[in-house]
């Protein structure tokens, strides 16, 4: 694909990156300029500053956000991030990527994202609950099972979704399970949701390998991030017979060329709350981690991990983006030139929102599916999306990210055009 009409520059501003990606696709597919203008900006954004009573009796002020990027295809859907560096441009980018992602897997949602600038590791459980409830209350003008349905993201989990659901339900006066997904099974969560994103990552990794004549068993895999996405993906890779040779989290990195016993590592992490000190692997410096030679590199931590600086040294055949936005646009070009296939975030990590959709449907109907039903429906959606993206890549002679955006943006554009511009 010709990048000549698009200005690609290295930046760590995620929203600038998202707009560069959109520009590349607008050029590649000759996108209607009006639709392009609509997609460049979020439809609505809410910033909230709110106080939380801390355990020591002091009052601390926090800032949170909820952004709706585009709602042409359905209610707003997207996770909530609790992280010290969360800011509005990060949330805008994540919301834009959600619009594209929901369209790539063809589920009836628009894109949204939320976040609070805070370090959940430094808050007590009581402080975290009060922060979550007050943030929910502040953004509740946007929320609702037909309006905006949050889910977990970095730094949030099922417990936080339960507090969110309870707070919203208290406000409207009755229990509303469908206002949130990723909630615990005890209050109407879905079987299979916790590991859904990781399962989707493994499914597209398998399909990408198969398409190039490879297979998962014996593939060497490196996973950055050992949370909801990275931990679940690593465990499923391990169970499939692949060799997970290196993993990392915010505290450090581990390496074992013979393959790490991921189930033993998960048990160690549950007990000690860290990967560090695990006896079944050697510690390695985090600086060299992403350049470990492997078949599949799975960034599953945060954005901007593969940049123009380290992309030339990546020695993987495939990068499967478990995280959102782990690769910058200049790094994308370098990887492509070096023959590294990138399976983009808007496809690779769409398993989470797909099972969130299943959870929402189950919550609305109060009728629940077995884990097998959830996993097999997830499998068929991910495989179909992979095939459609691959076919678009062939049709347009482009990389998989551009192809995924062409598939997603075309569906969003069709919805915008079918609904028309009001008034």
What amino acid positions are annotated as catalytic residues? Answer: 113
Q: How far is the CB of 165 from ligand NAD (least distance, A)?
A: 17
- Residue 69, SS3? strand
- Residue 169's DSSP bridge partners are none
Q: Is the peptide bond before 182 cis (omega within 30 degrees of 0)?
A: no
Least CB distance from residue 97 to ligand NAD, whole Å? Answer: 9
Give the nearer residue to ligand NAD in terms of CB position, either 75 or 79.
Answer: 79
By beta-carbon proximity to ligand NAD, the closer residue of 29 and 382 is 382
**Which is nearer to ligand NAD, 152 or 329 (by Cβ)?**
152
Q: How far is the CB of 220 from ligand NAD (least distance, A)?
A: 19
Residue 267, CA atoms < 13 Å, CB-side half-sphere? 7
With respect to ligand NAD, which residue has the nearer C-beta, 217 or 277? 277
DSSP string of 183-194, one letter each residue: --GGGTPPTT-T
| CA angle in degrees (0–180, nearest 5) for 347-323-167 | 100
* Minimum separation from the CB atom of position 214 to ligand NAD (A): 24
Pick the closer one to ligand NAD by CB: 108 or 252: 252
Contact 169, 162 (CB under 8 A): no
Detail the DSSP E strand segments found in 300-404.
Answer: 318-320, 341-343
- In the numeric block, which tokens belong to residue 326? 């782990």
Report the DSSP pairing between strands 318-320 and 243-249.
Answer: unpaired
Instruction: Centre a 10 Å sphere on the Cβ of residue 274 and count the other Cβ atoms it contains.
Output: 14
Report residue 245 as tokens.
């040779």
The CB-of-57 to ligand NAD minimum distance in angstroms stands at 29
Which stretches does DSSP call E strand in 162-308? 220-224, 243-249, 252-255, 282-284, 296-299
Residues in touch with ligand NAD (CB under 6 A):
152-155, 197, 224-230, 248-250, 300-302, 322-324, 349, 352
| Pairing assessment for the beta strands 341-343 and 318-320 based on DSSP bridges | parallel
DSSP annotation of 144 reads: B
Nearer to ligand NAD, 227 or 344 (CB): 227
Whose CB is nearest to ligand NAD? 227
Helix axes 88-104, 351-365, angle to 10 degrees: 80
Shortest Å, Cβ 310 to ligand NAD: 13
| Of residues 155 and 259, the one with the C-beta less far from ligand NAD | 155
Among candidates 258, 196, 271, which has minimal Cα distance to 233? Answer: 196
The distance of closest approach from Cβ of residue 352 to ligand NAD in the complex, given in angstroms and rounded to an integer, is: 3
**Residue 301: closest CA among 272, 321, 278, 283:** 321
343-359 burial, b at 16+ Cβ within 10 Å, e below that, comes to bbbbbbbbbbbbbbbbb
């Amino acid at each position: 694909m010709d990048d000549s009409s698009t200005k690609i520059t290295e930046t760590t501003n995620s929203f600038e990156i998202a707009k560069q990606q959109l520009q590349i696709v607008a050029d590649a597919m000759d996108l209607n300029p009006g639709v392009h203008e609509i997609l460049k900006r979020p439809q609505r954004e809410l910033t909230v500053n709110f106080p939380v009573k801390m355990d020591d009796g002091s009052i601390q002020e926090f800032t949170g956000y909820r952004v709706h990027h585009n709602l042409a295809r359905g209610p707003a859907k997207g996770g909530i991030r609790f992280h010290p560096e969360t800011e509005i441009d990060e949330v805008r980018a994540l919301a834009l990527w959600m619009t594209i992602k929901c369209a790539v897997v063809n589920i009836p949602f628009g894109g949204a994202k939320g976040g609070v600038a805070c370090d959940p590791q430094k808050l007590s459980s009581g402080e975290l609950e009060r922060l979550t409830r007050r943030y929910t209350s502040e953004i509740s003008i946007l929320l609702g099972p037909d309006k905006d349905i949050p889910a977990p993201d970095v730094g949030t989990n099922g417990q936080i979704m339960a507090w969110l659901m309870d707070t919203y339900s208290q406000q409207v006066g009755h229990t509303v399970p469908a206002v949130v997904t990723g909630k615990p099974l005890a209050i109407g969560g879905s079987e299979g949701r916790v590991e859904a994103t990781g399962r989707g990552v493994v499914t597209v990794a398998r399909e990408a390998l198969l398409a190039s004549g490879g297979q998962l068993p014996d593939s060497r895999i490196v996973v950055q991030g050992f949370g909801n996405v990275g931990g679940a993906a690593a465990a499923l890779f391990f169970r499939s017979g692949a060799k997970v040779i290196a993993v990392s989290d915010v505290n450090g990195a581990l390496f074992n060329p013979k393959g790490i016993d991921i189930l033993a590592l998960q048990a160690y992490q549950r007990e000690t709350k860290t990967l560090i000190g695990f006896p079944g692997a050697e510690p390695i410096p985090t600086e060299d981690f992403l350049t470990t030679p492997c078949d599949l590199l799975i960034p599953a931590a945060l954005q901007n991990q593969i940049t123009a600086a380290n992309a030339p040294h990546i020695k993987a055949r495939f990068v499967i983006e478990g995280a959102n936005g782990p690769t910058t646009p200049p790094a994308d070009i370098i990887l492509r030139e070096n023959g590294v296939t990138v399976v983009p975030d808007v496809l690779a990590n769409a398993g989470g929102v797909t099972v969130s959709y299943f959870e929402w449907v189950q919550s609305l109907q109060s009728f629940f599916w077995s884990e097998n039903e959830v996993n097999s429906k997830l499998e068929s959606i991910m495989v179909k999306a992979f095939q459609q993206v691959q076919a678009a890549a062939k049709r347009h002679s482009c990389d998989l990210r551009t192809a995924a955006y062409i598939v997603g943006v075309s569906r969003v554009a069709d919805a915008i055009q079918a609904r028309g511009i009001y008034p």
